[in-house]
Amino acid sequence: MEVRPKRLAPRGTQDVLPPESAKGQYVEATFRRTCACYQYGEIRTPMFEETELFSRAAGETTDIVTKEMYTFTDRGGRSLTLRPEGTPSVVRAFIEHKLYGEPDAHKYYYVAPIFRYERPQAGRYRQHHQLGVECLGPAGPDADAEVIALACDFLGTLPLTGASLQISSLGCPECRPTYRERLQEFIRPRLAELCEYCQGRFEVNPLRILDDKNPRCQELTQGAPSPLDTLCGACREHHERLLALLAEAGIPYRENPRIVRGLDYYTRTVFEVIHGELGAQNTLVGGGRYDLLVEELGGPPTPAVGFGSGLERILLVLEAQGWSPPPPTPPVYVAVAQGAGDAGWLLAERLRRAGLAAQVDLLHRSLKAQMKEADRLGSRYVLIVGEQEVAAGEATLRDMQTGEQRPLPLEGAAELMAGLVGEKGQAES
């Protein structure tokens, strides 16, 4: 009879079950290793914060703030919001713990669940996970280059091909207004033809019009002025130095002046890593410089740069490219015959304490069924524990590869097995 689940995971969320969860673990471990090479330390912040932190950081008129936040009032009457991105929390912690005390490059990374009330589709979820970094303190383009290099190095270490890095600069408070005006001038004659959403953005945030997915709006904004043409001298120099550094480091990129990003805090550099495999949700990594945010949130002026990458999207690409993680080491299997009492269970326990992966049957199945299970798990070694063996203080060690069997004293069995597995390797075939 089919059992129909009464309760389902909330829309736009997913359960990750073993062995699938090994895929995410692999990507996460790769990210952590890359961060260690670049000397970024892990920061863990709460999953929720005061609502105002996120609305001030992202910008009151952004989609994230107006439509996508999971906001609730707690029992003390405070308005709290589930983290819709990682950057504001890192900045809040940086200010709260006065980490700005010493002039330094403060380099943090995070692996964090992120919550956005978006319309779910492939690659877009209401809970996703970001692997992100933030570098606070340095103002120079070498910090931007380091953060971008870290992202590319991370993706490059994964068996993932076809990702492309795109870069632009949105300028600073000096030169951005000129660009804004130029863009408005360009859009004004076309305004009536744009969608309602874009019309609403015209005064508030015209840059976002460039990011609209509506094909008609995209067509109408073809040929829009580039922010790169109105950069002030300092922003231009920053941008050119960054491109030169990337070229020197052999990191391929494409300038794409249509990158606007969905958050208002960016200054100067913005970048994305996109992938053709992903359809509409094609951004694997999004980031940039945010030199004014720390001050905006109450800290001393502190330039900063960072990125966030979507774990689920990376996994979608890897899966589409036919990747699966290296298989785990098969366990030593302890097969227990009836009448052996607790000896089998205890032996497995000793093997684990000696650092070995060990499996013992908890369902009290027949010896035949247990041997089949050992085979299914790919175990090279099976320790058979029967009534007579226990009486003799022994187990039978079976090498599943050669079919050889020999007695093994229970006393010291764990150490012997550790030596054997270490020597030959469980995965060896």
Binding site for ligand HAM (CB under 6 A): 85-87, 116, 118, 123-125, 128, 130, 132, 134, 262-263, 283-288, 290, 306-310, 312-313
What's the CA gap between 132 and 91, in Å, rounded?
A: 13
Pick 124 or 352: Cβ nearer ligand HAM = 124
Are the C-beta atoms of residues 262 and 67 closer than 8 Å to each other? no
Q: For the residues of 129-188, what is the DSSP string, one character each?
A: EEEEEEEES--SHHHHHHHHHHHHHHHHHTT---EEEEEEE---TTTHHHHHHHHHHHHG
Interatomic CA distance for residues 383 and 140, integer angstroms: 61
Closer Cβ to ligand HAM, 34 or 130, answer by number: 130
- In the complex with ligand HAM, the residue whose CB is nearer, 123 or 331, is 123
Minimum distance from CB of 273 to ligand HAM (Å)? 8
Nearer to ligand HAM by Cβ, of 285 and 397: the residue is 285
Q: Which residues contact 87 (CB under 8 A, 6 or more apart)?
A: 57, 132, 134, 263, 265, 290, 293, 306, 308
Instruction: Name which of 305 and 414 has its Cβ closer to ligand HAM.
Output: 305
- Minimal distance, residue 348 CB to ligand HAM, in Å: 40
Cβ at position 103, least distance to ligand HAM in Å: 21
Cα separation, 196 vs 22, whole angstroms: 44
Q: Name the minimum Å distance from CB 218 to ligand HAM.
A: 19
Nearest to 336 by CA among 324, 326, 327, 345: 345
Q: Which residue, chain included where needed, has tokens 């990191």?
A: 251
Residue located via tokens 């805090």: 265
Q: Which is nearer to ligand HAM, 30 or 130 (CB)?
A: 130
Using the structure block, give the residue that is written with the tokens 């320790």. 383
How are strands ordered across the β-sheet holding 71-73?
48-50, 79-82, 71-73
CB of 408 to ligand HAM, least distance (A): 50
Nearest residue to ligand HAM, using CB? 310
Minimum distance from CB of 211 to ligand HAM (Å)? 11
Bridging pattern class, strands 79-82 and 41-42: unpaired
Query: Smallest distance, Å, CB 270 to ligand HAM?
Result: 9
Kindly tell me which of 118 and 373 has the beta carbon lying closer to ligand HAM: 118
Q: Which is nearer to ligand HAM, 154 or 381 (CB)?
A: 154
Q: How far is the CB of 268 from ligand HAM (least distance, A)?
A: 12
